[in-house]
Amino acid sequence: VIGATPGATGAAAGQNSLKALLSVVDTILMGQPEVYFTYKSELFDEANNIVDEETKAFLNGWVDRFATWIDQMGQAHNRAKAA
């Protein structure tokens, strides 16, 4: 679960509530890393592209980790089906 907020903690509160709800309905969630992103207009250009290199690297790192997690979950699912 990832979110963004213009304030300090809005997304964090929403994300925590959503994670609690999703666990009740047997949703598998990636536990780490978590992202609590504070939206700042200066991080983006007019076309909403990220222009801040540190922010871009941080978010790309999360996307890479998420893609790895998806692959791992798929492999685990395939092993379970084969068993």
pLDDT score, position 3? 84
Q: Would the pTM count as exceeding 0.95?
A: no
Q: Would you give per-residue pLDDT tens digits along the chain (83 residues)?
A: 888 888 777 788 888 899 899 989 988 888 888 888 888 999 999 999 999 999 999 999 999 999 999 999 988 888 888 87
Rounded distance between C-alpha atoms, residue 28 and residue 47, angstroms: 33
- SS (HEC) of the chain: CEEEECCCCHHHHHHHHHHHHHHHCCCCCCCCCCEEEECCHHHECCCCCECCHHHHHHHHHHHHHHHHHHHHHHHHHHHHHHC
